[in-house]
Chains A and B, each alone.
Chain A
Amino acid sequence: MTLTEPSRALDEIKIGGMGASRKRVEDNRFIRGKGHYIDDVVLPGMLHMEILRSPVAHARIRSIDTSAAWDVPGVRLVLTGEMMATRNLAWMPTLSYDTQAVLATDKVRFQGQEVACVIADDPYIAKDACEAIVVEYEQLPVIVNPTQALAADAPIIRDDKQGQHDNVCFNWEVGDKDGTDRAFAEADVVSRIRMHYPRSHPSPLETCGSVADFDRATGKLTVYMTTQAPHIVRAAVALIAELPEHLIRIVSPDLGGGFGNKVPVYPGYVMSILASILTERPVKWIEDRTSNLISTGFGRDVYLTGEMALRQDGKILGVRMHTDSDHGAFFGDAQPSKFKIGLLHSAFSCYDIPTAHLTARGVYTNKAPGGVAYRCSFRVTEAMFFQERMVQAAAEDLGIDQAEFRRMNFVRDDDFPHRTPFGFLTDSGQYAKCLQVGLDAIDYEGFRREQAEAAKNGRLLGIGISCMTEPLGAGNSREYDILGIKMFDSAELRVHMTGKAILRTGAKTQGQGHETTWAQIVAHELGLPADDIVVEEGDTDTAPFGMGTYASRSTPVAGAAVAMAARKVRAKARKLAAHLLEVSEEDVEWELGRFYVRSAPDRGVTIQECAMAAYSNMPDGLEPGLEANAYYDPPNLTWPFGCYIVTVEVDPVTGVWDVLRVVAVDDCGVRINPMIVEGQIMGGLTEAYAMSSMQFITFDAEGNCIGSNFMDYLLPTAWETPGYELHEVVTPCPHHPIGAKGIGECATVGGPAAFVNAVMDALKGHGVRNVDMPLLPDRVHEALTTRADVSGAPPIRTDS
């Protein structure tokens, strides 16, 4: 296998191949307002669906009276849980082998749960009719955190489940308990920390929606829907609803962002499909912002108790972690691994630690279900945040500089492959080098001097570091599957006679720029200009089977399949070239875009000439045409590395903090399109800044969701988003065809701890070990004045 250097000869850059910062071709239509999103789908005779949601978090449903809704002119159908139940559709399975209510029958279990829906001639009528439905609720005690959920007298939220006598959703463990106990017995110092990673929401700017169109005459069901994984939806409909797979077509049009939010199957999709079957009309459902925020897949909401066994000289001997995760009313985590807590045990993969043990407990609460990987390989964000917060606390406990402490515990460059303390196998990286690039860029020593100087005037400066390697690219088919379907991916490349081509994959772009980068991989492999290749995804009738786009898996898996398909095309083109050049195949050499005779390099044919020959002048015995498909089952995950360093100044009077500088050093292996990579890193850092400074979904004691619109759930604007200084190190992935690793989520995963560590560094000496995210000014102020840790766990304090 040959690996490509990040910067190749000029001709490859000119054709938009690997390493070219080619402008995103999809932006041409997006910035002109010519994108085609779910709400742009308009079909003849289409009806509109609106969902009535529960205003309360936990209540028994005494009655639902829909008669007034039926009386509203223009109403075509009103659905309730009772009606769904007669079709065995009141409940549906989740990807985590639990069940979830489609429409509530017995109880509502979170605020915003789907209670009924109306299908009408237009969305205004549907909304009016929803308001006419009368529901009688008998309120029950509400649970909004694990402590309440685990209390002896806690009401059982999932009383629908046989044998469920408490609110525990799972207990799971991994690692070596005895070995870890021994490490703690031998430790000079044990460092401890507790924290909460708050509930967040991916908040794609386009909310979820669907247009279901069942054709009674042909029996065909077409569903346009906002999904990051159209083939999985088709598989689910075929396997669970037992509809014939060849008569199901799922189309995912342009997506206005996903970030994990568009992986699960939501009740709204199911209801729109049933409504179309019942009305024999297309039915459109477009979720509003509040519905998206209060009912669809959230991220995080995990509590950690972490302990590190340390030797006085700085060596980490062992790690112990316990997590309590809040899954809401239904265990709906959308993740493909066999591990109950996702990949949280990828924590500490970049450190050389002999032993570790993790116990994880999941609980049900009266909050929205459907945990998703909000821009992270599942729960890797929590893993790396906890890791880097624990590392900083340990360095402080030992009195060792935080950078030096990391350096001395890193896995060394010559230690690969490396078995992590929780059993993953990492394969490549230059961790110390990345850290050094970051430290040099921020002038670490210089900042420390500036910090000491400022302290003399009562100013609080801080610097935070976060380093991590994370597992991206689910995944190898041994450990990862969805509904038993293995996590491979696919590509299908068809070269037309004039040397233009169409590429289809089983992934689904939602802002990652596949239409641009996949063409660059083909350009790199075949020498066709990237502009001559059109990329198509998202229609299950035309795209090859694939597992979709999330968890930074597209380049590691689908991208590899693209390269492999292109190589198959090249292998066939070589036969055509030999025929055209009248030499044997062994005498043909390849250079970008051209085959030539080894002994006479001037005699050659271009890839375009081979393409024409495939349709007009093929040798005897060779199949016409020039196309290939490839299914790629990755041998391992890819392991990018990120080092993020942030400096801040905290106002000691108000607790307000400002970011001074942000330095990011990312090693994602070979970069296909550096500009897109940088864009993803900047986006990730912005999400990291958001989660650390302002963003969270919390609840009051009654289970009211605080964060149900963009006035309460904050997305940073260009106004307050800091500037970023980006650097790179390139360690190619040893098993990926083009040496690339995942990158889409690295900064989101690694970034938050850098911001929090910076603020905590500024607060050093104030008796505080942890302030929970988001570090709102009042929390920082409270830490400064009380000299105690500040918890952000719900319920929120209110006295109104």
Chain B
Amino acid sequence: MYPSRFAYEAPRTLDEAIDLLAQGRGEAKVLAGGQSLVPLLKLRFANPDLLVDINNLPGLDHLAIAADGGVRVGALVRHRDLERATALASAQPVMAAAAPLIADPIVRTRGTLVGSLCHADPQGDWAAAVLAAGGQVVAQGPHGRRSIPVGEFVVGPFQNVLEYDEVAVEATIPAARDRVAGGFLKLERRVGDFATAGTAVALELDGDRVTRAGIALTGVGSRTLDARAAADSLLGRALTAETIARAAELAAEAAQPNSDHRGSAAYKRHVIHTFVTRILTRVTTTTTEHAA
């Protein structure tokens, strides 16, 4: 496994990094955790001329979790930092549930959430969790900063909307207005395997009424899927057997799975249905417990 020849730069400032990317004119790649990029280099699936290592850049390792559900994740925050962030469980349960399911413990010590979003693997986990939570990617380029909703950020398999001279500097999740709930379930054949199918659910509830809902699917399409109709079907309603069943059906319909060695298309759809049902049912149970 010997990559093609490439140049390597490790700039000390963000401006320098952006300059290097600009000079690369699309043939440069940002190296953060490297857990997807390095294997691609070794397999020669990616053959960039230049690697811009951002690990020395200051101010990108912040992880801010507010009690109101607002979360800011810097580009150098590792999966493990999120897994160990106890405040995440109450602030963004969907992310707290996803964090320990990312890849395997070795990858989690190096890989980054923002890198995962940029990599845009159709079987990736973070994009689903952040999409369900309504998150955004903040990108910085020569002309300043912009925020891009994750649903618009990922446009296809391994494709995002970043300009070649932009660096994704953080991911943000907006504060919630109401009580947050949610969950993340993934079927994998083994720890570290890509998702056969995965489901992220993020809700806000006022009493027992759903005031905001996000449902996102992974492993069942050419990119992370926003099961918008499924999520919308819950708005303004309480979680009951009927509303849960309806949402699960709509989510399964939104899935666009392929049959492969991980499972048949029909099975993957069935798993999505099951996972939406299970997450929402668990939320109901937890809500009842809170009430009790």
B126: CB under 8 A from chain A? no
A404: CB under 8 A from chain B? no
A712: CB under 8 A from chain B? yes
Give A782 to B1 CA distance when docked, in angstroms: 38
A48 CB to nearest chain B CB (Å): 9
A777 touches B191 (CB 8 A): no
Tell which of A653, A720, A778, A797 touches B274, judged by Cβ atoms closer than 8 Å: A653
**Which residues on the B side are within 8 Å of A127 (C-beta)?**
2, 44
Q: Which of B104, B191, B196, B258 has the most CB of A within 10 A?
A: B191
Q: A653-B274, A717-B104 are in contact. Are A798 and B2 (CB under 8 A)?
A: no
B164: CB under 8 A from chain A? no
A711 touches B194 (CB 8 A): yes
Q: A698-B261, A796-B260 are in contact. Are A719 and B2 (CB under 8 A)?
A: no
A654: CB under 8 A from chain B? yes
B3 CB to nearest chain A CB (Å): 8
Binds A, one of B48-56, B200-208, B211-219, B265-273: B265-273
**Which residues on the A side are within 8 Å of B260 (C-beta)?**
796, 798, 800
A159: CB under 8 A from chain B? no
Chain A, residues 778-800, CB within 8 Å of chain B (1/0): the string is: 10011000000000000011111
Q: Which of B194, B262, B263 has the most CB of A within 10 A?
A: B263
**Which residues on the B side are within 8 Å of A655 (C-beta)?**
267
> In chain B, residues 1-24, which have Cβ atoms closer than 8 Å to a Cβ of chain A?
1-5
Chain A, residues 39-50, CB within 8 Å of chain B (1/0): the string is: 000000000001
Give A289 to B193 CA distance when docked, in angstroms: 17
Shortest Cβ distance from B189 into A: residue: A694
A717 touches B191 (CB 8 A): yes
B271 touches A798 (CB 8 A): no
Chain B, residues 171-190, CB within 8 Å of chain A (1/0): the string is: 00000000000000001011
Give A606 to B44 CA distance when docked, in angstroms: 64
A706 touches B271 (CB 8 A): no
Tell which of B187, B191, B196, B271 touches A719, judged by Cβ atoms closer than 8 Å: B191
B264: CB under 8 A from chain A? yes
A720 touches B270 (CB 8 A): no
B191 touches A706 (CB 8 A): no
Chain A, residues 624-641, CB within 8 Å of chain B (1/0): the string is: 000000000000000000
A778 touches B190 (CB 8 A): no
Q: A128-B4, A656-B187, A782-B264 are in contact. Are A711 and B193 (CB under 8 A)?
A: yes
Count A-B contacts at CB 8 Å.
76
> In chain B, residues 75-105, which have Cβ atoms closer than 8 Å to a Cβ of chain A?
104-105
Q: Looking at chain B, what size class is its interface with the partner chain?
A: 20 to 34
Give A714 to B192 CA distance when docked, in angstroms: 10
B240: CB under 8 A from chain A? no
Tell which of A698, A706, A719 touches B104, judged by Cβ atoms closer than 8 Å: A719
B259: CB under 8 A from chain A? yes
Give A707 to B193 CA distance when docked, in angstroms: 13
Q: A719-B104, A778-B267, A782-B264 are in contact. Are A799 and B258 (CB under 8 A)?
A: yes
Give A707 to B274 CA distance when docked, in angstroms: 28
A123: CB under 8 A from chain B? yes
B261 touches A714 (CB 8 A): no
A714 touches B263 (CB 8 A): no
Give A712 to B196 CA distance when docked, in angstroms: 12
**Which residues on the A side are within 8 Å of B274 (C-beta)?**
653-654
Give A391 to B196 CA distance when docked, in angstroms: 34
B99 CB to nearest chain A CB (Å): 15
A654 touches B259 (CB 8 A): no
> In chain B, residues 122-175, which have Cβ atoms closer than 8 Å to a Cβ of chain A?
none
Shortest Cβ distance from A796 into B: residue: B261
**Which residues on the B side are within 8 Å of A778 (C-beta)?**
196, 262-264, 267-268
Give A306 to B262 CA distance when docked, in angstroms: 29
| Chain B contact residues: helix, strand, loop or mixed | loop
Shortest Cβ distance from A126 into B: residue: B2
A123 touches B2 (CB 8 A): yes
A683: CB under 8 A from chain B? no
A674: CB under 8 A from chain B? no
Give A300 to B290 CA distance when docked, in angstroms: 54
B187 touches A777 (CB 8 A): yes
**Which residues on the A side are within 8 Å of B191 (C-beta)?**
717, 719-720
**Which residues on the B side are within 8 Å of A716 (C-beta)?**
190
Q: Which of B194, B264, B267 has the most CB of A within 10 A?
A: B267
A124 touches B5 (CB 8 A): yes
**Which residues on the A side are within 8 Å of B1 (C-beta)?**
288-290
Q: A654-B274, A781-B270, A797-B259 are in contact. Are A776 and B2 (CB under 8 A)?
A: no
A609 CB to nearest chain B CB (Å): 54
Give A127 to B260 CA distance when docked, in angstroms: 30
B66 CB to nearest chain A CB (Å): 32
Give A123 to B194 CA distance when docked, in angstroms: 30
B5 touches A799 (CB 8 A): no
**Which residues on the B side are within 8 Å of A711 (C-beta)?**
193-194
Q: A654-B274, A711-B193, A719-B104 are in contact. Are A800 and B263 (CB under 8 A)?
A: no
Give A351 to B196 CA distance when docked, in angstroms: 41
Give A800 to B105 CA distance when docked, in angstroms: 31
**Which residues on the B side are within 8 Å of A290 (C-beta)?**
1, 43
Q: A128-B4, A777-B263 are in contact. Are A654 and B187 (CB under 8 A)?
A: yes
**Which residues on the A side are within 8 Å of B264 (C-beta)?**
778, 782, 797
**Which residues on the B side are within 8 Å of A698 (C-beta)?**
261
B2 touches A712 (CB 8 A): no
B267 touches A782 (CB 8 A): yes
> In chain A, residues 670-693, which have Cβ atoms closer than 8 Å to a Cβ of chain B?
693
**Which residues on the A side are within 8 Å of B3 (C-beta)?**
124
**Which residues on the A side are within 8 Å of B43 (C-beta)?**
290, 709
Give A654 to B104 CA distance when docked, in angstroms: 23
Chain A, residues 277-290, CB within 8 Å of chain B (1/0): the string is: 00000000000111
Tell which of B4, B187, B190, B258 touches A714, judged by Cβ atoms closer than 8 Å: B190
Q: A717-B104, A717-B192 are in contact. Are A800 and B258 (CB under 8 A)?
A: yes
Give A215 to B13 CA distance when docked, in angstroms: 54
Q: A127-B2, A128-B4, A798-B258 are in contact. Are A717 and B263 (CB under 8 A)?
A: no
Give A711 to B1 CA distance when docked, in angstroms: 15
Q: Which of B192, B196, B268 has the most CB of A within 10 A?
A: B192
Give A124 to B261 CA distance when docked, in angstroms: 32
B2 touches A717 (CB 8 A): no
Chain B, residues 31-54, CB within 8 Å of chain A (1/0): the string is: 000000000000110000000000
A724 CB to nearest chain B CB (Å): 18
> In chain A, residues 248-293, which have Cβ atoms closer than 8 Å to a Cβ of chain B?
288-290
**Which residues on the B side are within 8 Å of A719 (C-beta)?**
104-105, 190-191
Chain A, residues 696-719, CB within 8 Å of chain B (1/0): the string is: 001000000011010110101101
Give A720 to B194 CA distance when docked, in angstroms: 15
A654 touches B263 (CB 8 A): no
Give A796 to B259 CA distance when docked, in angstroms: 9
**Which residues on the B side are within 8 Å of A799 (C-beta)?**
258-259, 265
**Which residues on the B side are within 8 Å of A694 (C-beta)?**
189-190
> In chain A, residues 121-148, which have Cβ atoms closer than 8 Å to a Cβ of chain B?
123-124, 127-128, 131
Shortest Cβ distance from A653 into B: residue: B274
Q: List 16 A-B contacts (CB under 8 A).
A: A124-B2, A290-B43, A654-B274, A694-B190, A714-B190, A777-B187, A777-B263, A777-B267, A782-B264, A782-B267, A796-B260, A796-B261, A797-B264, A799-B259, A799-B265, A800-B258
9 closest Cβ contacts across the A-B interface? A778-B263, A778-B267, A719-B191, A800-B258, A127-B2, A288-B1, A799-B259, A694-B189, A714-B190
Q: Which residues of A contact B (CB under 8 A)?
A: 50, 123-124, 127-128, 131, 288-290, 653-656, 693-694, 698, 706-707, 709, 711-712, 714, 716-717, 719-720, 776-778, 781-782, 796-800
Q: Told that A127-B2, A714-B189, A778-B196 touch, could you supply 10 new A-B pairs with CB distance under 8 A?
A: A123-B2, A124-B3, A711-B194, A719-B104, A720-B190, A720-B191, A782-B264, A797-B264, A798-B258, A800-B258
Q: Which residues of B contact A (CB under 8 A)?
A: 1-5, 43-44, 104-105, 187, 189-194, 196, 258-265, 267-268, 270-271, 274
